[in-house]
Structures are given as structure tokens and as C-alpha cells.
Amino acid sequence: MSAATPRIPAPHRWLRVRLCLVASVMGLLLIAIGYKAFAVQIRDGARMSAFARAQHAHQAELPAPRGTLLDVNGTELAISVDVDSVWADPSETVDPAGTARRLAPLLGVDAKVLLAKLSSPRRFVWLRRRISPATAQKVRALAAAGIALMAEPRRYYPGKSLAGPVLGFAGLDGRGLDGLELRLDEYLVGKPGVVDATRDARGDLLVSDPLLPAQPGAAITLTIDRFIQFTAERALASAIETHSARAGIAVVLDARTAAIRALASWPTFDPNDPATRGEARNRAVTDVFEPGSTMKLFTIAAALEAGAVAADDTFEVDGGQLRIGRKVIRDTHFEHEHLTVGEVLKFSSNVGAVKIVRRLGRAGMAAALRRMGFAARTGIELPGERAGQLRDPALWKELDLATIAFGYGMTATPIQLAAGLAAVAGDGIWRAPHLVERITHADGRLELPPRAPNRVAVSPATARTMRGMLAMVMEPGGTGEKLRVAGYTLAGKTGTSHKVDPATRRYAPDLYLASFAGLAPADDPRLVIVVMIDEPRGKKYFGGQVAGPAFAEIASESLRYLGVRGKPVVAEPAPLAPEPDSASAAAPVPPTPPLEAEADTPDEAVSVGTRGTIVEIPDFTGLAIGAALDLARIRGVRIEIEGSGRAVRQFPRPGRALESITCRITFDPR
């Protein structure tokens, strides 16, 4: 009989079962841990290592300072300075609502806006950028969790509103948005730097030395002279205030190089506060005008160059009236019967200019104006430059040729006018007006910006003759006779042109553009100065009265500043454009519109009895909005604009139509 197997008591059997279960569970856990370790260390090792590095290591981008803009003498006009900006890591913020309430009065931001940002799932949000040093100190003192400061470059303009429209401004992202800041953005923007940083246990960044330091943008030296710019702006603002004018422009060019020493526009603005911009813009390049009598100097220069007239030729001006078809051209000064070519300029005779241009002809006049820079952009380093308009001479009628001779029926910018006059000052060579002298890159490399090539506008002999005639304008009896600058002789041409009333689309009897374009000094020009005062309101509106004194002030201050030696003063000069001493003094006779007939626009209109007036509607297709507006104004056609871009269709189609009909033009941006 075999020995019986001992029986395990029941309590011990359950103990063994429990031990087996625990051992099994532990074994499974060890297997799971082993698998996880295999997955983390081997299968996903590279990915997890990268994730770990991303948690602790960080590469930050260092913003690059924007390049400096300097005047021709090295004075800073636009610089970048470091200022603090406030940012937050919402995941680190302990009390978002309380933090928002405490920060709101410091940052000047609504607490609800801050709370929304502090509740964001993102790890980085801007709360307020580019704050003052005092505000930054208060934010530091607050010591709120998740709130930090970062230094950022901010654009600063030391001269405030000085040359504001020319310089333009840059946005918060450091990109140029207007003016030279926009046009030269590719040079001014620097290259950001890269810095390594390690995040500690609390999530704070410990920054090491930068791997790649930030590279600032190029330093750009402009042709602007800070003193001459200030002088031009002061003289322009004074003229605007004196004559309650709508706007004004002053351009000062170096007569030898066409470098722009001043480009003033009113209204202006402070680029430190772009919100004050309003209607400020670079009107010398963005606005086009019918130049009026200043165009006569180019008409005469063209005729002399072509040999169509000689300087001593004499013309009958018929007492200042000339009929062309249904229109009558009139002179403001009509006391003369015969005028030499120089006297046509001196007394600003419309009739004389028409008789001179008739000898030259349509093709000769158009070709000469294009050689002198009209109807084409100059290429100046500013956005928004317009080319002006000069129609195909093949389409000119007799009246078109006549009105263009004294500055109507075409449009030009003030910078074109200044560049054309600079050709007369510079022995007949047209040079592209420019604002950039040189570009100095961060590595020290110098770059000279490309410019349009020089070209011959007129011969040196014609240029010398024209300078002598322009000096006659300042002599007794000339339209600029009251302008004096002690020690210097001046030369120039006045202009007083009527403007078209936008409401009636006809030349308004009380809307003027007063201008003066001149050389200083006359015998050896150093400066070309063009001043335009738009819509002066008051008793004075002639160019010599309104724009002339500003020209003389700019010339006087600038020549002395440049060290140009004047001649000894023999007698005390007459005051600039003196006011009448009493109410009994004869008031100036307002200039009549240059054409007097059934219609007040340069184009002929045909009367058709009770049906109304017929006008010729031009073909607008393919034109931009600005060009279409110019053409419509010249043709006396009312238009209605739809869309943007270039004109793709119009109604009615080109041809004759009643003047009362509005031409609807559809523009498409494609």
C-alpha cells in the first residue's frame, strides 16, 4: 500500500493561487515595460530624442535692425532703436483674469482683449508691442507669471515731420509701407539672427551667444539736404497759410546733377505717428497738373532748338487776342502789339506762344517735350510716380497745338517740370532726378543705384539763350519783377493756370494753380526751384505773387547756406510781392480763362441748336483709372467709374455724343 499524497490545506492553496496571479501580473507588466522601453529607445528613439531636445532646447530668431536713412551730409533721418514689447505664454499664466485686469491700465489695452489672448492655447502671444521705457518698468515690477518682455527694433524719425511724405514709414513688422521706406525696402530690411537657448525646469529660456548675429539693413545716403528741406517746408507752409491754399509743393534740384536737395509737400505728416498721415503724399510725383504758363519756356526752347524762330524774331500779338475757330485765346497782359521771342516769355503772352509754336508744328513740339522729360516717368525712387499725359500729336487739332504751347491740354508732374528746367540750367543735358546718393551694405560694400541715362534735350547754345530770357522775366515789366534776393540775380517763369471745377468739368474762374519755376543764381545756376500753390484763396493768385515769394525765400536761404558768393548789394532790394498800402490801390486783374467760347475746355465743341452740345468721346479701353480721368477732363467728358484696374469696356462707345451723357467705364484688375 503506497503512501498517501499529503493534502494541502485549503488556505495554503489560495495563497499559491494568489502568488501565481501576482507573478503573472508582474510578468506581464515587465513585458509591457520592456516593450515600451524597446519602443522608446529603439523603435522610436530618434523621434523621441528630437522631441526631448525640442522641450529643452530652443532656437530663437533675433530681429534685424532696419537700415538707416541719412541726408547728404550724414545726418540721420530714419533710424532703428530697440524698445520693449510685451508677450505672454498662456500656459504659464496662473491667474489669467487677474493678470489681464492688472495689465490693462499699464498697456492701454482692454482687459477683455488681454484675457482672450491669455486664454489662448498657443505658447506665445503678443500683448503690446513697442512700449515706452516707463511702461516696461511697470510691467517688470508687476512680475506676473507667464508675462515677459522682448527687445524689438522700432523705426524712429528724429526730424519728426521733416520730409515725412518722402521718408514714408515702416510697419510693426519692420517692412516699409510708404515713401522711400517702401521703395527701398529690399535694401533696408536686414537678415534676422539665430540664437540657441535652453529651457530650465520652470520653462524659462536661458539664452546663449547667438549662432548667427542679426545683420542690419543697408545704410542709405540720400541726396536730401536737411537744411534745404527745412527751408523749403517752412517757405511752403508760410505761403499756404498766407493764401489759405488747399495744398502746395516745392522741389529743389541741384542744377548740375539733378540730385534732389528738397522735396516738400503740404499737407505733411509725422512718420513717427502714421495715423496723422491724412491726405499727405508726395504730390511732386503723384499729382499731375496742367502746368500753365511755365510751359512757355519749353515751347520757346523747342522752337529755338529746331530753328523755327530766332531769339530776336518779333511777333504781332494783336493786343492780346487771337481767335481760333470758335475760341478766343487771350493774354492777361494785353497792352502790347509786338513782342520779341524773349518778351513773349517776359510778359507771358499766350498769343505770342501760340504764334511761336505754329512755326514749330505738332511733331516738332511733341518730340521736344518728350526729349525734355514730359509724358514719361523720371524713375525717381518713390512709389506712385505718374507720367502725365501728352496725346499723340497726330490727333492734335489746331487748337490743341495752341493750348499746349501755354500749358493747357496736357498734364505734367512738378518733378518733370523741375527736371526739364534743370536741362536748361545744365547746358541742355537732361538728367534723371534722384533721391539716393549711395547705398552702404552691412559688409561695407558700396552700391550706386541705377539711373536713367543722360540725354541731350537742347543744345548748349539754346540753353544759354533760354537762361538769358528767363532772367528777363525778373526785370522791370516782367511777371517776376517784384522778386528780389539781395546779392543774387534770379531767373524764372511764373505760371497762373485755371483749374477744372470737378462739379462742372469746366475751367473755374476762381480756382487757380499758382506756380514759379526758376534758377538761382541766373548767371551760374546752382539750384533749380519749382514751387506750386494749389487753389490759393484770397486777393492774390498770380504765380509771381503767391509762389514767387516762397521761391525767393528758398533761393536766398539755400544759396547762403551752400556758400554761393553773391554780388555786393548796391541798393536795398524791393520787398517780395508788396501788398497795396491802401484800399484805393488798384487790385490785380484776375487772369481770364485762356479760352473764351461756348465751351471752356481746350477741345472744340460744336453747337447743335436745341439738341445741346456735342462732344467727342474718346476710347478709354486699356487705360488705368488715373489716365482715364485725365483724358476725360481734357476732353470735357463726364465719366462714371466701375471697378478697378484697367478699362475693359465703356458706354457709349468712342465717337460723338451729347455733352449731357455720362460715359460709364468698367475697369478690371486682371
Express as a percent the part of the chain with pLDDT over 90. Answer: 49
420 versus 124: the higher-pLDDT residue is: 420
* Range with the largest mean pLDDT of 30-44, 505-519, 522-536: 522-536
* Separation between Cα atoms, residue 313 and residue 340, nearest integer Å: 6
List the Cα angle 239/243/244 in 5-degree steps: 110
CB distance 118 to 124 below 8 Å:
no
Beta strand segments in 369-489, E = 429-430, 436-440, 446-447, 455-456
Of 240-244, 450-454, 615-619, the range with the lowest mean pLDDT is 615-619
**Do the beta carbons of residue 444 and residue 418 sit within 8 Å?**
no
Task: Please say if the pLDDT value at position 116 is more than 80.
Answer: yes
Does the pLDDT at position 346 exceed 70?
Answer: yes
Q: Which domains does the chain have, with CATH numbers?
A: 60-222 (3.90.1310.10), 226-562 (3.40.710.10), 605-668 (3.30.10.20)
For position 590, what pLDDT does the model report?
A: 46
Higher-confidence residue of 641 and 452: namely 452
Lowest model confidence (mean pLDDT) among 64-73, 91-100, 440-449: 91-100
Contact 529, 252 (CB under 8 A): yes
List 234's β-bridge partners, or say none: none
Q: Is 244 a catalytic residue?
A: no
- Catalytic site residue from 85, 161, 265, 293: 293
Confidence band of 640 (pLDDT split at 50, 70, 90):
confident
Check whether the bond before 414 is cis (ω within 30° of 0): no
Provide the pLDDT confidence category of residue 594 given band limits of 50, 70 and 90: low
Task: State the SS3 of 99-167.
Answer: HHHHHHHHHCCCHHHHHHHHCCCCCCEEEEEEECHHHHHHHHHHCCCCEEEEEEEEEECCCCCCCHHHH
Spatial distance between the Cα atoms of 149 and 649, rounded to a whole number of angstroms? 56
How many Cα neighbours within 13 Å face the side chain of 323? 4
What pLDDT was estimated at residue 7?
64
Q: What is the mean pLDDT of residues 452-460?
A: 95
Q: What pLDDT was estimated at residue 600?
A: 33
Average pLDDT over every residue of 189-212? 61
Contact 605, 613 (CB under 8 A): yes
pLDDT above 70: residue 120: yes
Residues in the chain: 670
> Quick one: angle between helices 96-107 and 111-118, nearest 10?
130
Q: Say whether pLDDT at 658 is over 50.
A: yes
Ramachandran sector of residue 248 (left: φ over 0; alpha: ψ -120 to 50; beta: rest)? beta
Q: What is the pLDDT of residue 664?
A: 77
Query: Are the CB atoms for 400 and 345 separated by under 8 Å?
Result: no
